[in-house]
Amino acid sequence: DELRDAVLLVFANKQDLPNAMNAAEITDKLGLHSLRQRHWYENLMFLLS
């Protein structure tokens, strides 16, 4: 019950790699579209050093 109203944030790192999943693939694999009563956000990223 404590997490009922929690927002889900998904960070998809390593997006610069050739086999990285795109946003649609990640959404599908995690089943995010089935979370009807929860807000979620997906952030694709890669870091440069």
Residue 37 among known ligand-binding residues: no
pLDDT at 49: 63
Residue 29 among known ligand-binding residues: no
Amino acid making up residue 4: R
pLDDT at 19: 92
Residue 28: pLDDT over 70:
yes
Q: Check if the beta carbon of residue 15 is closer than 8 Å to that of residue 44.
A: yes
Residues 23 and 34: their CA atoms lie apart, in Å, by 15
Q: What is the pTM of this model?
A: 0.64
Residues 2 and 49: their CA atoms lie apart, in Å, by 38
Residue 14 among known ligand-binding residues: yes
